[in-house]
């Protein structure tokens, strides 16, 4: 989710008293956790993305010629391929990972460099690309096969 998104906390083991509370995901930290300002307790805590759900699902389709095969979708401030709802889509030649990381990080002059480093870290950990959630907080169903982007691929669409 984009920095500044209102979210609900769930599934915490060490602090179950926070489950169900709402707050603001201030930004994504280098540890892969969001710094969240919890409204009720006025605390700022590092919380995994899997323990956060956006309070309001905002989804917007953008297509110049309304061709769904070339459309992108913005969900909670992050970009995805509309057809497959994936951040990196080999089938459609989209790669929004660095741009999405930039939207999640704390603003600053070195935002692009930090996003590139976070992207490298995610690739080193072999993390899969993000998938756009569906309304109601459900995750999109897994496709029959996930396209694997080639590091030798030509520059991707949507990044110019």
Q: Is the four-CA dihedral 77, 95, 114, 30 of positive or negative sign?
A: positive
Handedness of CA 83, 86, 92, 95 (dihedral sign): positive
DSSP 116-138: HHHHHHHHHTTPPPPBPBPTTSP
Whether the pLDDT of residue 140 is over 70: the answer is no
pTM above the 0.75 mark? no
CB burial of 18-54 (b: ≥16 within 10 Å; e: otherwise) equals beebebbbebbeeeebbbbebeeeeeebebeeebbbb
Please write the tens of the pLDDT for every residue from 60-80. Answer: 888 655 566 668 888 888 899
62 touches 72 (CB < 8 A): yes
Per-residue tokens: 139 = 């995750």
Which CATH number applies to 5-54: 2.30.30, 3.80.10, 1.10.150, 3.40.50? 2.30.30
Structure tokens at 90: 């080999």
CA geometry: angle 81, 106, 40, nearest 5 deg: 100
pLDDT at 47: 93
Roughly what angle, to the nearest 10 degrees, separates helices 97-104 and 111-124?
120
Say what the pLDDT of residue 137 is.
53
Cβ–Cβ < 8 Å for 54, 7: yes
For CATH 2.30.30, list the domain ranges present in the chain: 5-54
């Amino acid at each position: 989710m984009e920095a500044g998104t209102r979210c609900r906390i769930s599934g915490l083991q060490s602090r179950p008293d926070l489950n169900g509370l709402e707050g603001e995901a201030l930004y994504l930290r280098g540890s892969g956790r969001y710094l969240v300002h919890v409204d009720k307790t006025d605390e700022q805590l590092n919380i995994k993305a899997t323990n956060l759900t956006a309070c309001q699902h905002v989804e917007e389709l953008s297509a110049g010629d309304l061709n769904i095969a070339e459309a992108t979708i913005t969900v909670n401030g992050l970009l995805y391929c509309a057809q497959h709802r994936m951040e990196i889509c080999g089938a459609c030649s989209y790669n929004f990972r660095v741009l999405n990381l930039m939207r999640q990080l704390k603003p600053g002059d070195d935002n692009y460099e930090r996003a590139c480093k976070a992207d490298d870290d995610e690739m080193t950990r072999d993390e899969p690309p993000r998938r756009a959630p569906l309304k109601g907080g459900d995750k999109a169903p897994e496709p029959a096969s996930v396209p694997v982007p080639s590091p030798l691929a030509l520059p991707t669409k949507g990044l110019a």
